[in-house]
Amino acid sequence: MGTTAASGAGTGPGVPDEVRVWVLRVPTAAAGPSSAIDASVLDEEERRRMAAFVRDEDRVRYGFARTALRTILSARTGEAPDALRFARDPCPCCDEPHGRPVLTSAAAEFSLSYGSSLVLIGVASVPVGVDVEPVPDPGAAERLARMLHPAESAEVLAVPPQERPAAFAVLWARKEAYLKGLGTGFGRDIAADDVRGDLPGWCVTDIPVGPGHAAAVAAGSARARTVVRVHHALPEL
């Protein structure tokens, strides 16, 4: 089952673009080996990275996120999960190969974010970025808020101190989702853009993920609307 949210973006006519977002909870390492992690579908680099984690919870989180990503993209493209190959677009800032992750053999845009107990995966036919962030402690929220766009920083610092961590997390998730969608990451000045509303050619939508976290998806579209459909279970293959 999924939920739907529609957001304005861009200026063009026509039917809305659709972005699908999966909000998934990471299995606990204490539960032992999880059927949600299938190392056989991962490539050599993914298996190497998974094995390199020292902490069990980090290994489980990474393995689950990569298995989930391959499952979702397999359902989208019709390719077998283990046949999917990934590369990187050139970075718009420096033209080096560390921009948006892409599939080498299928036309599907995607983005992955994970942290703590949650994994967020976005898939679309347009450039897309997703981010999920834990709510930081008050000191970190106030310190990092001063690095944002002046209007964003002023908004965070204007709310009561006890509300600042959550307010900051919302803006930071929107910021990272947008920068990932652009393919620049933090190669672009994080103070350059005010992401409290939609930006030209982009729709940024908050994703409800429960207390303790904030999440967002950014979709690059020239259409008048973007529809975001949120799912909480993996597709069946």
**Structural domain contains residue 189:** yes
pLDDT of residue 155: 97
**Structural domain contains residue 104:** yes
Digit-coded pLDDT (tens) for 35-86: 678 999 999 999 999 999 999 999 999 999 999 999 999 999 999 999 999 9
What are the DSSP E strand ranges found in 104-177?
Answer: 109-115, 118-124, 128-134
Which residue type occupies 36?
A
For residue 195, how far is the Cα from the chain centroid?
A: 15
pLDDT of residue 36: 78
What are the DSSP E strand ranges found in the chain?
Answer: 2-8, 17-25, 86-88, 101-103, 109-115, 118-124, 128-134, 202-207, 213-220, 225-231
What's the mean pLDDT in 118-146? 96
**Structural domain contains residue 236:** no
Whether 156 and 47 have beta carbons less than 8 Å apart is answered as no
- More confident of the two residues 123 and 6: 123
- More confident of the two residues 237 and 138: 138
Report which secondary-structure segment, H or E, holds 165. helix 164-182
**Structural domain contains residue 97:** yes
Whether residue 128 is predicted with pLDDT greater than 90 in this model: the reply is yes
Distance CA 175, CA 124 (A): 19
Whether 205 and 7 have beta carbons less than 8 Å apart is answered as yes
**Structural domain contains residue 206:** yes
Residue 181 sits in which domain range? 18-231
Query: By C-alpha distance, which of 76, 35, 119 is closest to 235?
Result: 76
**Structural domain contains residue 5:** no
Whether residue 1 is predicted with pLDDT greater than 50 in this model: the reply is no
Structure tokens at 135: 């709510």
pLDDT of residue 116: 85
What's the CATH number where 143 sits? 3.90.470.20
**Structural domain contains residue 3:** no
Whether 176 and 115 have beta carbons less than 8 Å apart is answered as no
Digit-coded pLDDT (tens) for 74-126: 999 999 999 999 999 888 888 887 888 999 987 789 999 998 899 999 999 99
Q: Which residues contact 39 (CB under 8 A, 6 or more apart)?
A: 47, 50, 63, 67
pLDDT of residue 30: 61
The reply to whether the predicted model has a pTM over 0.75 is yes
Domain tally, the chain: 1
Digit-coded pLDDT (tens) for 187-220: 889 999 999 987 899 999 999 999 999 999 999 9
